[in-house]
Chain A
Amino acid sequence: MLEQRYTHLQMIALVVMRVLIGWHFLYEGVAKLLKPNWSAAGYLKAAKGPMAGTFKWMADSPELLDWVNLLNMWGLFLIGLFLILGLLTRYAAIGGALMVLLYYAANPPFIGYFSSVATEGSYLLVNKNLVEIGALFVIAVTYSGRYVGLDRIFYRLFHRRKRTVSEQELTGATV
């Protein structure tokens, strides 16, 4: 555990990053839920790149599309909520990264492909989606939820035997 020591400032930085990403997810979810009849169909149909066929196929099957829409709206909402709260942080981060990976795959900034959605910058292989995936990867492998987050309470409650753990062993933070 010694090599995993973090200062409080480093832990707070992780928490802030987690909350910011959570906010982004949560509002993407809420905005879709608030629209009377939101559907991913247009986005899926406009997909580019090697996976485009798969996305178009999803859009063309009404049954599948219903599920895609539901999973997308509520997935964004719940992952956002959990990231902000620091609840099941690791699973939320992995789930979030997988979702964003799908968005990345729908419009990959590969050489020779042009994005079908408006972009405000210039990207080569790496775009903001990939950066967010990277950030979620960091969240997934650190314990910011056990530092600030509901995971801390659950960890304390359900790991009584390990009650001896100190703050630094709990999260890796030096106190």
Chain B
Amino acid sequence: MSERDDKDLRETGNPEEKRGIDRRDILQGMATLPVLGLFGYAVHKQVSYEDAQIAQKLGTAQASNLREVKVALLGAGAQGQVLLDAMLKIPNLRIQAVCDIWTDFNLKRVINTLKKYKFDPHPYEDYQEMLDKEKDIEAVVIATPDFWHAPHTVACLRAGKHVYCEKEMSNTLEGARSMVLAARETGKLLQIGHQRRSNPRYKYCYNRLIKEAKLLGRIVTVNGQWNRAVQPDLGYPKRYQIPADKLKKYGFKSMEQFRNWRWYKGLGGGPIVDLGSHQIDIYNWFLEANPVAVVASGGNDYYSPETREWYDTAMVVYEYETPEGKARAFYQTQTTNSSLGYFERFMGDQGTLVISESDANYANAIYREVTAPAWDEWVQKGYVTAPKVVEVKEEKSAVLDVRESVSPDEHKIPVEFADLYHRPHLMNFVNSVRGLEKLNCPAEIGYESAVTVLKVNEAIQAGRRLEFRPEEFEVS
């Protein structure tokens, strides 16, 4: 100690001569620098681990020799960002161009995100210019407002690109039809973004539990819902306002309308189309039929019709003639209360399947009716887990009314899906472009779904039961 103090005291004699710091100050001053090295190493390890996890899910190891596919993103809003996040780590997918009319905000943000991931995409405002210039792009992913889907998709297909287009396929049936025809004429692929069609859990439930094991027996009734909490209109940073003439050029009356297009007639289809189409598409899929009729009640019960032209609440009953017999399916969507979120429930005479895209909120379980044959075989084969034992309390069972059914056993579905919801569907599209897979939701299926869903708005307006003719679902 004295040595140091002596030194300090010695230095005080002529501080101008000596440098202010000595070796010890430097060493002690930078003693924590190695911590940053360790930190960097740990972060690197963590990121590699996360990448490896994703790569394992995507099968990148086997996919590394797949040929590169160059794509463009058309529409860089909220949904475009969701699709982009899902595309970032798809192996050998090159995002080469991005197009959005909100150049100062959406476009800039997405380009910045892509640069972080070592892409160098070309930004465009005008999709025609993009199609003219980007000759080596093979496919376009479209996430523009619904009323642009048809013109964008048709233009891209005619320019020789394969297309992944978000649902709803179009806000009009004429639009949707033109897309199916353009896909047929050009021979290019058109995948519609009903991403549950590629979700491993949904595929498992349909292929294994419903088709193969027939655990539900005959499905007679279905219900499902998407309940969403009250949300204010979407805003925008004032300094990034799009000039009025540009908005007009692209079909919007105002910035408010541009942000909230989903609620406007002629631009979108309202909640029944935005939310319902995902789930009603599953009804058609699992019931293996298109509906024969629909009754619906709905209206703008809560929000101002000034900013929300479409119905904030819709309750729908479809009638089906399935290969097994008649079935009825209820669906509700409302935007004023979020209770129980979103799910689909298929009720057969032998079991009930409750399924949701959301792993967090739903257990994804299947219930055996007590009157149904035992599922032991399927439990042993691992198709479903062993049932959860529900203890029946003595005093309760003593007073159990004979008219009351005993509650069914709960089995879990042993398929975990912890990936981004849209990734498998996009992977299916990219691998179809490579010629390795078939589309899980080609234009024709998207069209059937659009016919099914768009009829709801018609039925609400008409205030009566509307029938579907079988040929309505076909494009000729």
In whole Å, how far is A6's beta carbon from the nearest beta carbon of chain B? 14
Q: B235 contacts A23, CB within 8 Å?
A: no
Inter-chain contacts of B12 with A (CB < 8 A): 163-164
Q: A175 contacts B20, CB within 8 Å?
A: no
One of B26-34, B123-131, B449-457, B462-470 at the interface: B26-34
In whole Å, how far is A38's beta carbon from the nearest beta carbon of chain B? 11
- Interface status of B39 (Cβ within 8 A of chain A): yes
- Interface status of B254 (Cβ within 8 A of chain A): no
One of B81-89, B132-140, B347-355, B438-446 at the interface: B81-89
Inter-chain contacts of B81 with A (CB < 8 A): 37
Residue of B nearest to A26 (CB): B39
Q: A27-B43, A36-B113, A152-B28 are in contact. Are A163 and B11 (CB under 8 A)?
A: yes
In whole Å, how far is A44's beta carbon from the nearest beta carbon of chain B? 14
Inter-chain contacts of B117 with A (CB < 8 A): 36
- Chain B binding surface, main DSSP class: helix
Inter-chain contacts of A36 with B (CB < 8 A): 84-85, 88, 113, 116-117
Q: B39 contacts A149, CB within 8 Å?
A: no
Q: A152 contacts B25, CB within 8 Å?
A: yes
Q: B237 contacts A66, CB within 8 Å?
A: yes
Q: A166 contacts B4, CB within 8 Å?
A: yes
Residue in B15, B85, B235, B236 whose beta carbon sits within 8 Å of that of A163 in the complex: B15
Q: B30 contacts A27, CB within 8 Å?
A: no
Give 1 or 0 for each of B4-43: 1 = CB within 8 Å of chain A CB. 1100110110010010110001101111110110010001
Identify which of residues 107-154 in chain B touch chain A, using a CB-to-CB cut-off of 8 Å: 109, 113, 116-117
Q: B25 contacts A19, CB within 8 Å?
A: no
Q: B29 contacts A148, CB within 8 Å?
A: yes
In whole Å, how far is B444's beta carbon from the nearest beta carbon of chain A? 33
Q: B32 contacts A165, CB within 8 Å?
A: no
Q: B4 contacts A167, CB within 8 Å?
A: yes
Residue of B nearest to A174 (CB): B1
Q: A62 contacts B36, CB within 8 Å?
A: no
In whole Å, how far is B97's beta carbon from the nearest beta carbon of chain A? 18
Inter-chain contacts of A174 with B (CB < 8 A): 1
- Interface status of A84 (Cβ within 8 A of chain B): yes
- Interface status of A157 (Cβ within 8 A of chain B): yes
Identify which of residues 3-29 in chain A touch chain B, using a CB-to-CB cut-off of 8 Å: 15, 19, 22-23, 26-27
Give 1 or 0 for each of A73-104: 1 = CB within 8 Å of chain B CB. 00000000100111000000000000000000
Q: A27-B43, A160-B20, A164-B9 are in contact. Are A150 and B29 (CB under 8 A)?
A: yes
Identify which of residues 103-143 in chain A touch chain B, using a CB-to-CB cut-off of 8 Å: none
Q: CA A62 – CA B232 in complex, angstroms? A: 12
A151, A153, A158 — most chain B CB neighbours (10 Å): A153
- Interface status of B363 (Cβ within 8 A of chain A): no
Q: CA A150 – CA B1 in complex, angstroms? A: 22
Residue of A nearest to B31 (CB): A148
Q: B235 contacts A62, CB within 8 Å?
A: yes
Inter-chain contacts of A86 with B (CB < 8 A): 29, 32
Residue of A nearest to B109 (CB): A37
Q: A156 contacts B30, CB within 8 Å?
A: no
Residue of A nearest to B47 (CB): A34
Q: B237 contacts A62, CB within 8 Å?
A: yes
Q: CA A61 – CA B232 in complex, angstroms? A: 11
Residue in B20, B29, B84 whose beta carbon sits within 8 Å of that of A149 in the complex: B29
Q: CA A24 – CA B235 in complex, angstroms? A: 34
Please list the residues of chain A having a beta carbon within 8 angstroms of any beta carbon in chain B. Answer: 15, 19, 22-23, 26-27, 30, 34, 36-37, 60-63, 66, 81, 84-86, 147-153, 156-158, 160-161, 163-167, 174-175
For this complex, 28 residue pairs linking A to B, each with C-beta atoms less than 8 Å apart, are A15-B32, A26-B39, A30-B43, A36-B84, A37-B113, A60-B232, A84-B39, A85-B33, A147-B28, A148-B28, A148-B29, A149-B31, A150-B29, A151-B29, A152-B28, A152-B29, A153-B21, A153-B25, A153-B30, A158-B20, A163-B11, A163-B12, A163-B18, A164-B12, A167-B5, A167-B8, A175-B4, A175-B5
